[in-house]
Homo-oligomer: A and B are copies of this chain.
Amino acid sequence: MSDFEVIKIDNASVVGCGVIGAAWASRMILNGVDVAVSDPSPNAEEILSHVLDNAIAAYDDLGLATDRRGSYRIASSIADAVDGSSFIQESVPERPDVKTAVLAEIEADASGDAIIASSTSGIRPSTMQTGMRNPGRLVVGHPYNPVYLLPVVEVVGGDQTTIENINRARGIYAGIGMKPVHVRVEIDAFVGDRLLEAVWREALWLVNDGVATTQEIDDIITHGFGLRWAQMGLFETYRVAGGAGGFRHFIEQFGPTLEWPWTKLMDTPDFTPELVDKLVDQSDAQSGAHSVSDLERTRDRNVVGFLKVLEANNWGAGTTIAEHRRVQP
């Protein structure tokens, strides 16, 4: 099907164990991979345990639970975590200086053929690999949370990354049930976050200007186009809107309206105390009745249900879940 082969690994390292790192570790563990986890925070094991519980519940619900779980251990240092590992996923805070320092520490002790993947959602791999001794093995592997459930991972190489290592990373991600999408041109924020940031900026203006509340904006998404995007995305949805005339007809019909000046200035609104308070207050009014733990479980139950629907209809992310069943340990 593609220019990479599925690779089953049996051990890996997770460096940085916040919500994203813990969800990576959970996906690996539930796919039979033994994971060594490193994080300076005393709360790391608690976060991992909490996220792993959610992941186990979701895999049970989805019918993906197996007896061949991997183990995990909390390593005493980055050096300890990466020792003997074939695949290292870095998920430390999104600051270039922190990333650079952690990558140097990883490289000092990683075995020569280990892939080093960064979860960064915006820093270019070419920037991160400057100064690395063996930059050819650094890739970005940018996931979407909950990482144990959402299949997609954007795989991006920098100027010095070899195509062999990009394809190895894709194979390893496919081996833990993911849909790797190779972003072939390196840009800030890659593809998904470019789309998300455009929406975020626009939504902030709408709240800032008092046009709509967070609740109203979310209602319009969840009761409207969100139900389309879980299955067909942007272009396929619009293809359907164009009818039998296909995409050309769609553009002929709707293209001109794009020239209307609908979106706000490129600037993001300043996060003044007033705007922050407005966002916080509206979000509390919208969702404050639920704890975050409850919201996480609800989110996972909903995603599990959507994935089952898509799998039954042999469509979209459902085809990736079917493949996940096939490659499971």
Q: Could you write out 28 A-B pairs with CB less than 8 Å apart?
A: A94-B254, A94-B257, A149-B227, A150-B228, A152-B223, A154-B220, A181-B216, A185-B209, A188-B261, A188-B262, A196-B225, A214-B234, A219-B233, A221-B233, A221-B234, A222-B317, A229-B229, A236-B283, A236-B286, A239-B287, A242-B292, A246-B283, A247-B280, A251-B276, A263-B266, A302-B315, A305-B309, A309-B309
CB pair A144–B225 under 8 Å, yes or no, is yes
CB pair A280–B246 under 8 Å, yes or no, is yes
- Among the 9-residue stretches A1-9, A70-78, A293-301, the one with 4 or more Cβ atoms under 8 Å from chain B is A293-301
Shortest distance between the CB of A74 and any CB in chain B (Å): 20
Cβ-based interface call for A201 (8 A): yes
Cβ-based interface call for A59 (8 A): no
Interface code A238-275, partner B: CB below 8 Å = 1, 0 otherwise?
01111110111001001101111111111010010000
Shortest distance between the CB of A100 and any CB in chain B (Å): 17
Cβ-based interface call for A160 (8 A): no
Q: In the complex, which residue of chain B has the Cβ closest to the Cβ of A268?
A: B258
> With A222-B230, A243-B292 known to touch, is A211 a contact of B195 (CB < 8 Å)?
no
CB pair A218–B195 under 8 Å, yes or no, is no
Shortest distance between the CB of A286 and any CB in chain B (Å): 7
Shortest distance between the CB of A195 and any CB in chain B (Å): 5
